[in-house]
Homo-oligomer: A and B are copies of this chain.
């Protein structure tokens, strides 16, 4: 297993801040919408107005990856969309498994946004005999005991964890032992792994509590 500290990265990507990285998918979404509306090119000023960020931020963000704009022309929408997709790794097929085939797991499996972005859900896993054997948009729900065999036979980039808090940590450890390097965690628990294991959390309870805070501090 490579130590992430010694992984050779390209010079341009080494120092990119998490804040910039978090903004990239939003650029990609806006560019996709422009492309759908047959917009061929766009100035950083116009893009900034649509996205409600400053034109200078857009230029700075994109300069992390080499720029892409031309003075007096702006950005070529299709080119920038494709380049942004490559930066995000969306030009590759990212196979995903979903561990936990309840409503949330099924909601992810049913989400067609993922397909069009190179994410391919290839299996769901659960302990519940009533769920095992059913299919969600053509993807089968397997017995969680099949994980090891499945992972030997398939190259899986990402495991989504849509299971109860009480089970998430143990299953995550099992997945990492079986070679999974990236976890998309929906359980309300923090997973602790060496830094070469990538964890992206979607903490729904924390999101709504933040909203509740804003509501009630607003009303005071």
Chain A 127-169 against B: per-residue CB contact (8 Å), 1 yes, 0 no?
A: 0000000000000000000000000000001100000000000
In angstroms, how far is the closest chain B Cβ from the Cβ of A106?
Answer: 5
Bound-state Cα–Cα, A214 to B182, Å: 9
Within 8 A of B (CB), among A80-123: 87-90, 92, 94, 102-104, 106-108, 110-111, 113-114, 117-119
Contact A218 B52 (CB under 8 A): no
- Please determine whether B209 and A90 come into contact, CB atoms closer than 8 angstroms: yes
Chain B residues with Cβ below 8 Å from A25 are 203, 205-206, 209-210, 213
Q: A residues engaging B (CB < 8 A)?
A: 4, 7-10, 13, 16, 21-22, 24-26, 28-29, 51-52, 87-90, 92, 94, 102-104, 106-108, 110-111, 113-114, 117-119, 157-158, 181-182, 184, 188, 190, 192, 196, 198, 200, 202-220
Chain B residues near A190 (CB-CB < 8 A): 26, 51-52
CB <8 Å contact, A200 and B206: no
A21 — which chain B residues lie within 8 A by C-beta?
A: 210, 213-214
**Nearest B residue to A112 by beta-carbon distance?**
B164
> Closest Cβ of chain B: how far from A213's Cβ, in Å?
5
A28 to B182, CA, bound (A): 26
**In contact, A220 and B9 (Cβ under 8 angstroms):** yes
How far does the Cβ of A58 sit from chain B's closest Cβ, in whole Å?
Answer: 15
- Once the chains are docked, how many angstroms separate the CA of A218 from the CA of B113? 24
What are 16 A-B contacts defined by CB distance under 8 Å? A4-B218, A10-B217, A10-B220, A21-B214, A25-B206, A52-B190, A87-B213, A89-B215, A94-B212, A103-B103, A103-B104, A103-B106, A108-B204, A158-B212, A181-B215, A202-B204
